[in-house]
Chain A
C-alpha cells in the first residue's frame, strides 16, 4: 500500500481478460476500495456464433471476471449496456461498411461505452474514478492531465483512446501503463488469477467468427448495395472485372482480381453510389494529406502550422504531418513527405512525442494525383479493424495487403 496515495473508490472495467484482472489487483494492492464491473455489450444468444464466445465480451468473460473479483475479495457487477453499445458501436460499424468505409469499432467502444457509459454507472455507485487495463499512462502535473503511450511499446493502446471525453481524463486510472505484458502475466500468475494464461482476444468481440460479411448481411437491408455485385474498375474507369459486394474491400488492400495485371494492384477507392471498386498501382495510394472528422482533443489544440505525428493504423509508426486547419470537429493535415495514407473510416490519431493529443476519423485522403476524381483515399496496407489487443483481425477476404516495403 502506497502510504501517500489517498484511498479512493474505483470502478474497474473487467473484461475477464488478464490485463483488466491485473489492473484490478494492482488497485486493490494500492489500498483502494475497488469495485469490478463487466459490461455486457452484446447478446450472443441472437447470433449463430453463440457457441464461440471465447472473446473478451462473451459470457465466459463475465464468469472469469467474477472469479477474479471473488479472488480479490471485491464486489463485481455486470452492467448490461447492450442498448448503448448497439447504438454507438454496432450500428456505426454496419453503416460505415454500408458507406464503403472501414470502421474502427474498438475505438468507438472506448470513446463511448467503455469509459463514458461506465463512468455514468460509477457515479451512481459514488466512485471517484474508473480504471481499465489499457497500456497507456496518465501524467498529472499542474492541474492538467496528459495521456501518454504505454511503457510497453509493443502493447501501447493509446491509438484506441483518442475519442475519450476529455473531461473524463482526470477520473481515469491505467494501472498497467508502466508495465510490460510479461510482467502483467507474471503478476497474474503470482496472484493465482484464473485469467493468467488466457489468450489475447483476436477478433472484434461482436463478430467472434471473424466473418463480418455474414454479420453485415444480417443487419443491412436485404440487397443492400454494399453486399451486391458491382464492377471492378481502374482509375480511368475501365471495367476490369466484377466483385460480389464492396463491403468485402478495404482501401489500401492489395488485390489480384484474377491476375493478368502487369504490376500489383490495390484498392484505391470504393464508390458506393455506383458500387465501383477502383483499383490501381501503388503510386495511386500516395497522399499528401488527409482530413479528419469527429475530431476530439485530449489536450489544448495546437495552432495551425504545428508539426505533429499522425498514427493511421494500430502498431504503425506515426507519420510526420503539419496541422493545416482546425475547425469544430474537423482538422486538415498535410504530409511534408509524401505518405502512403489511410483508409476512410479508420482513425487518424494525433501525437506530440509520446503524448496523445486527440484524433478523428479519416474522412478523405488528399492526393496530388489527378486521375482520380473525388479522391477518397489512399493507403497501404489494408487496415482491417484491429482489436484492442492489437492483432488485426484476418482480412475479410482472407487476403492481406502486403506491407509497404
Chain B
C-alpha cells in the first residue's frame, strides 16, 4: 500500500470526477441516440435533436440564449480557434492582425498567439501593475483596433478573477472583439454573457464534472474565425468532424448543474479554502497567498513557499496522500516560472503550490489537509537547506 488510507484529491482545477447523472445521460445518449447528426434518417434526427438541445442548453446556461455555440474537443481547442482562427481569418483576407492578451493567459491562448505571431500577426501582452491587471495599458493596447483581445475570466494557477466587466467595457468602446477563457470560472463565479459583453467564450466540460475532451466556443454576434480543421461542414464549418453527441450532452448537463449549484457550492468551497488558508498561515512562517489582495475564485488556494523545493514538495504531499499540483498540472518537470505568479510576484523564486477544492472535499478533511501540507512544507524546506 503505497499511500496512507483515503488520499485527498485537491487538484480539481486540473480535472474533476464525472458526475454520475452526466455519465448516465452520456451512456444513454451513446447507446440509444447513436446516429450521426448529419444523417437524414430517424437515427440522424434523434442525434441531431440531442445535439441541438445541448447547444441551446449551453447558450442558455451562459446567459446568452441567442449565442452561437460551436462544440469543440476541449478548452485548448476552443482557445486555439478563438485566437489563431481569428488571426488567420484576418491574415487570409490580406488584413493586418493584432491580438492583445493578458500576461497570465493559459498556454492554450498564449501559445496560439505565439503561433499567430509566427504567421504574421502582431501580439501585445498586457501585464500587471501594482498587483492588479493593468487596465490603462490594456486601453492603450486597444488604440490601433486589434482584431481580438483575449483575457481569461479566472486564472488557472492563482484563482484570481480578472476584471472582465471592465475589460469588456473597454473593448466595446473601442469596437474590439473580446475572447475570454472561462474554463476555471464556470460554476465558481457568475459567468453570464448577459452581464459582461464578451464576444467569444471558452468553456470545457471536465472542470465541472463533465466529460473530458468536450468544450465549446460560445460566440455572440458574427464570428470571423477561420477553421483549424478541415473536412465536412459540421459546426458551421468552424469545427468539422462527426459531432460527439454524447459529449455535447454531457457538457451541457455538467454546465447546467454547475451553474445551478454555483452560489451554494462557491460558498462551501470558499469557506473550506479560507479555513485551510487561515490555519496554514497561522502555522507556517513565510507563507504567502498568491493574489490575496485580488478577487479570487473560491476553489483555488495558490501558495508561495519560499525556501522549499517545489518538486519535492509535491512528491512529499503525494506520499502523504494529498494530490495537489504546482502552479498548474500542464508543465511536467519544468521549473520555469509561471506567468501568472510572476505577474503578481516578479523576481520571486518561491515554490508554488496549488490546492484546488471541489466536490470530493469537505470540512472533515480539514485537519489532515493542514497537517499534511505543513509536514510537506517542512520537509521540502529542509531539502533546500544544504
Q: Is A78 an interface residue (CB 8 A)?
A: yes
CA distance A38 to B334 in the complex (A): 12
- Contact for B332 among A78, A120, A121, A125, CB less than 8 A: A78
Contact call B334/A120, Cβ cutoff below 8 A? no
Structural contact, A77 and B383, CB atoms closer than 8 A: no
| Cross-chain contact A125 with B316 (CB below 8 angstroms) | yes
Q: List 13 A-B contacts (CB under 8 A).
A: A35-B319, A40-B335, A77-B314, A78-B311, A78-B333, A79-B311, A79-B315, A80-B310, A80-B335, A121-B309, A121-B311, A124-B380, A126-B319
- Please determine whether B334 and A124 come into contact, CB atoms closer than 8 angstroms: no
Which size bracket describes the interface of B in this complex?
Answer: 10 to 19
Structural contact, B318 and A124, CB atoms closer than 8 A? no
Which residues of the partner chain A approach B345 to less than 8 Å between Cβ atoms? Answer: none
Chain A residues contacting B314 (CB-CB under 8 Å) are 77
Please, which residue of chain B has its CB at the minimum distance from the CB of A74? B2
Known: A38-B333, A40-B333. A121 touches B312 (CB 8 A): yes
A82 within 8 A of B: yes
Q: Which residue of B lies closest to A38 (CB)?
A: B333
Q: Does A164 sit within 8 A of B, measured CB to CB? A: no
B319 proximity list for chain A (CB < 8 A): 35, 75, 125-126
Measured in the bound complex, the distance between the Cα atoms of B335 and A59 in whole Å is 14
Given known A-B contacts A121-B383, A124-B379, A124-B380, A77 and B334 have beta carbons under 8 A apart: no
Given A74-B2, A75-B2, the answer on whether A124 and B383 have CB atoms closer than 8 Å is yes
Name the one of A74, A80, A126 contacting B333, with C-beta atoms under 8 angstroms: A80
Query: Which B residues are within 8 Å of any A CB, using their own CB?
Result: 2, 309-312, 314-316, 318-319, 332-335, 379-380, 382-383
A79 to B313, CA, bound (A): 10
Chain A neighbourhood of B379, CB < 8 A: 124
* Complex Cα spacing A59 to B336, Å: 14
Q: Contacts of B316 on A, CB cut-off 8 Å?
A: 124-125
Residues of A in contact with B, size category:
10 to 19
Per the bound structure, the CA–CA distance linking A62 and B2 in Å amounts to 22
| Interface presence of A152 (CB below 8 A) | no
Residues of chain B within 8 A of A38, CB atoms compared:
333
Apart from A62-B333, A77-B315, A125-B315, 4 more pairs, CB < 8 Å: A35-B319, A40-B333, A77-B311, A123-B383
Contacts of B309 in A (CB 8 A): 121, 124
Q: A121 contacts which chain B residues (CB < 8 A)?
A: 309, 311-312, 315, 383
Contacts of B311 in A (CB 8 A): 77-80, 121
The answer to whether B333 touches A124 (Cβ under 8 A) is no
Please, which residue of chain B has its CB at the minimum distance from the CB of A83? B335
Q: Which chain A residues numbered 3 to 45 have a C-beta less than 8 Å away from chain B? A: 33, 35, 38, 40
Could you tell me the distance in whole angstroms from the C-beta of B291 to the nearest C-beta in chain A?
A: 24
Identity of the chain A residue whose Cβ is nearest the Cβ of B332 in the assembled complex = A78
Q: Quick one: CB contact mask for A35-63 with B, threshold 8 Å, 1 for yes? A: 10010100000000000000000010010
| CB-defined contacts of A77 to chain B, threshold 8 Å | 311, 314-315, 318
Residues of B within 8 A of A59 (CB): 333
Which chain B residue shows the least CB distance to A82? B335
Chain B residues near A124: list those with CB within 8 A.
Answer: 309, 312, 315-316, 379-380, 382-383
B35 to chain A, nearest CB (A): 37
Q: Name the CB-closest residue of B to A73.
A: B2
Are the CB atoms of A33 and B2 closer together than 8 Å?
yes
Inter-chain CA distance A124–B312, complex, in Å, is 7
Contacts of A126 in B (CB 8 A): 319
Bound CA–CA A105/B2 (angstroms) = 35
In the assembled complex, how far is the CB of residue B321 from the closest CB belonging to chain A, in whole angstroms? Answer: 12
Q: Considering only CB atoms, which chain B residue lies closest to A59 in the complex?
A: B333
